[in-house]
Amino acid sequence: MNVGTAKRSKEELMEAMRKPELINGSEILLRSLVLEGVECVFGYPGGSVLYIYDAMHGFSDFNHLLTRHEQGAIHAADGYARSTGNVGVCIATSGPGATNLVTGIATAFMDSVPLVVITGNVATTAIGTDAFQEADITGITMPITKHSYLVRDVNDLPRIIHEAFFIANTGRKGPVLIDIPKDVSAQTAMFHPASEVNIRGYNPTVHPNKLQVEKLIKAIEEAEQPLIIAGGGVVYSNASKELLEFINKTQIPVTTTLLGLGGFPSAHELWVGMPGMHGTYTANQAIQNADLLISIGSRFDDRVTMKLDGFAPKAKKIAHIDIDPAEIGKNVKTDIPVVGDIRSVLEYANTKAKPAKSEKWIERLQESKRNFPLKYKDSDTVLKPQYVIEMINETTKGEAIVTTDVGQHQMWVAQYYKFQHPRSWISSGGLGTMGFGFPSAIGAQMGNPDKLVVSINGDGGMQMCSQELAICAINNIPVKIVVINNQVLGMVRQWQEIIYDNRYSHIDLAGSPDFVKLAEAYGVKGLRATNKEEAQKAWQEALDTPGPVLIDFVVAKHENVFPMVTQGSTISEMLMGEDD
């Protein structure tokens, strides 16, 4: 089959894809992906998926991006999914190809990102024999997938693929794995596309119990110091517009979690910042003084709550809106549980919503924002990382899609970049995966070719994924790659300084490569800045360059992220700066 040699209209394409025909499992897979609306696949071939890659020869009905590592492929698929709202797809071979995906699968699982992960396996006759490059990938990933399939009959493929996309992108979203033995990908069958999904026992609650929503509305009307914690669920359910309407109607201040950034515009007067370990003073004090706390799509993660004994002590009632009933009451006792899709919940709530008695509360929090802003000690001689983030924010006007790796730079971006739109912030939250930032930006750029995508990385995380620079060069993917280079594992150093009494252990990254030369070796323009003037010039040059650019910002080595709440402390106990 060579169905992709000529460009067709979408209607013609779909009609051709649905045509019953005797084809092999690999061709069934490709047709099914097109019918699911897949536009881009990230992958890396190997022996067990060679029939699939053979079927891709001349196939142009979706784009395949060959990464340089399987982990790069799945992080790119993740970035594509988070930035577009569509299911991300990646392919890898059996054995090490499949196991190289594990960290990326766990990353997506922890952050509820919809992925369909396709792996090859040895032939069905060899399964269980410890054959060359055999690995029980369905068993290995069972705790970190929403569901998984081991395909043993080619006739099941259309149904399995259709189910996988449905499961990945409904309810609490997450990764689904499809493991296809090599002989199954070669077997032939009459292709009949799946059109219905009927999975016994899987029926996520979308529409809420209206009585529970009305209880919440009544509690809001009685509250004088209410607060909303908005999490990633707001973004994933495409409920940002409904949340804005809800807050405007109820006049409730809102704090957005790390994954919730962009789900509510940071320019809004009722936004009080990010909560938790590196949250703002106002957000944390608002939680501690609220009489009604409402979690919307946030799972009360430990980096938000910190020490649970002492979290939100003045809250007379705690409400929790989530599509996953297992999250409600798991970490924090809940008085008003509301199970359902957040968009659906807020749509109904907005028909009943009335203002809280929150005028004095709002004035108090706005005064706190003025008195306790985020701050750092700027310098005219040493480049500060916070300055770099502020510069990027000002020049992009908060309109770029920004991805980060994990560490100090991640927290500085969360603090100093002012996100205005959902799906403009992409970062590994639950798993905290180093190496995620740059590949996820490639996926985001593939999904949003007309938008500016900025990937902000530490010098540690950048070295875990730098091989993907080749992909940007070869395909002219115009990601702007920022390296916040402090020659050290910054967040580990900060903990060792503050918590471990300056006992620095194995954090020195002074032997890292010259990132400018590294970029140039791959064919990507490289720039460096060591002070404010150089930073402004290099960043403007990067913005003016149509293709990919890497900018190495050499920043102060001993800069810390503040505010900070140390583990074992409540969010009332904040370290505010160097002199604290």
Catalytic site positions:
70, 132-133, 182, 491
Give the residue ranges of DSSP H helices in 483-561. Answer: 490-498, 515-522, 532-544
Scanning the structure block, which residue is given the tokens 């024999």? Answer: 129
Interatomic CA distance for residues 262 and 282, integer angstroms: 18
| Nearest to 25, CA basis, from 135, 187, 165 | 187
Scanning the structure block, which residue is given the tokens 């590196």? Answer: 278
DSSP for residue 466: G
Give the strand pairing for 188-191 and 21-24: antiparallel
What dihedral angle (degrees, nearest 10) is formed by the CA atoms of 418, 419, 424, 430?
90
In angstroms, the Cα distances linking 59 to 1, 37, 41, 92, 249 are: 9, 15, 12, 18, 51
> How many beta carbons lie within 10 A of that of residue 563, not counting itself?
23
Length, in residues, of the chain: 580
Phi-psi region of 549 (alpha: psi -120 to 50; beta: other; left: phi over 0): beta
DSSP structure string for 79-101? HHHHHHSSPEEEEE-STHHHHTT
Interatomic CA distance for residues 48 and 124, integer angstroms: 11
Give the strand pairing for 549-554 and 480-485: parallel
Q: What angle do CA 392, 397, 403 make, to 5 degrees?
A: 55
Interatomic CA distance for residues 18 and 267, integer angstroms: 47
Interatomic CA distance for residues 190 and 28, integer angstroms: 9
